[in-house]
Amino acid sequence: MKKKSNDTEVRTAFPPPPIAASELLVPITSWPEMFREATITGVEFDLFWYDSVKDGVAYFFSWLGEPRSTVLVVWTDDAPTHIECRKWKDILATPMECVPIITEVTQMFRSAGFWREQVNH
């Protein structure tokens, strides 16, 4: 990972996510929050993902339910194209563990006006 030389850049907020927080799904909106999430879950963020978030093509969320997870949502201008859930030590959550997380992400995006015409994702 390339070390950041500009401390101001590290402290700045990321572009706002297209959805608000819910009780269980909380957007990660800055580099310090990403660092905190990595400390809690052990999920690693490399420079590629930091740049993707900064560019508005990916968003990370903290899932506060069980299993405690970090959620990646890859984004186009229209809708999410990929949702990934990783739990403690960067282990991919099982499909069953992802069901409530993906359901919440889907519901949040639909409430924000995205994916309304889709039945399955």
Does residue 12 have a pLDDT over 90? no
92/111: higher pLDDT: 92
Angle at which helix 47-54 crosses helix 31-41, to 10 degrees, equals 140
50/105: higher pLDDT: 105
Span 20-51, pLDDT tens digits: 999 999 999 998 999 999 999 999 888 888 88
pLDDT at 75: 81
Does residue 4 have a pLDDT over 70? no
Span 53-65, pLDDT tens digits: 988 899 999 999 9
The edge-to-edge listing of strands for the beta sheet with 25-28 is 25-28, 58-63, 69-75, 80-87, 91-92
- With 0.95 as the threshold, say if the pTM is over it: no
**pLDDT over 70, % of the chain:** 83
pLDDT at 8: 52
Q: Residues 98, 102, 106, CA angle at the centre, nearest 5°?
A: 175
**65-89: b or e for each residue (b if 16 or more CB lie within 10 Å)?**
eebebbbbbebeeebbeebbbbbee
pLDDT at 5: 43
